[in-house]
Amino acid sequence: MSNKWSAKASYPTAAVLAVTALWVVFPGCAQKIREPVPGEKVLSHVVKPGESLEDIADDYYGDPDRADEIRDFNRLGDDEVNEGDVLRVYMVPKDLETLGRRERARVPYNTGLELVARGSFLDATAEFREAARLDPDFAEAQYNLGVTYQKLDAHDKAIEAFARAVRLRAKNSDYHYAIGGSYFHLGRYDEAVQAFEKALLFNPANIKAQYSLAAALEKDGKLSRARKAWEKYLEMDSDSDWADRARSRLAPIWNHDRSTRRHRFSSFRRSERNYRPR
pLDDT band at residue 258 under the 50/70/90 scheme: low
pLDDT band at residue 34 under the 50/70/90 scheme: low
User: CB within 8 A of 195, min separation 6: which ones?
Assistant: 176, 177, 179, 180, 183
- Is pLDDT at 114 greater than 60 in this prediction? yes
pLDDT band at residue 21 under the 50/70/90 scheme: very low
Residues in the chain: 278
> Is 243 buried (19+), middle (13-18) or exposed (0-12) by CB count in 10 A?
middle
Fold that domain 195-273 belongs to in CATH: 1.25.40
- 64, amino acid identity: P
Mind giving me the DSSP string for 119-152? T-HHHHHHHHHHHHHH-TT-HHHHHHHHHHHHHT
Q: 158 vs 12, 14, 122, 147, 236, CA distance in Å?
A: 14, 11, 13, 7, 29
pLDDT tens per residue across span 186-198? 999 999 999 999 9
- In whole angstroms, give the CA distance from residue 125 to residue 146: 9
Does an H or E element contain 45, and which?
A: strand 41-46
- Is pLDDT at 2 greater than 50 in this prediction? no
CATH of 3-169, one of 1.25.40.10, 3.40.109.10, 3.40.50.300, 3.30.2320.50: 1.25.40.10
Residue 45, φ and ψ in degrees, nearest 5: -130, 130
On the question of a common fold for 3-169 and 195-273, the answer reads yes
pTM for this model (two decimals): 0.76
pLDDT at 257: 53
pLDDT tens per residue across span 125-169? 999 999 999 999 999 999 999 999 999 999 999 999 999 999 999
pLDDT tens per residue across span 38-90? 678 999 999 999 999 999 999 899 899 999 999 999 999 888 899 999 999 99
Residue boundaries of the structural domains of the chain: 3-169, 195-273
- In whole angstroms, give the CA distance from residue 10 to residue 265: 40
17 DSSP β-pair partners: 5
pLDDT at 260: 53
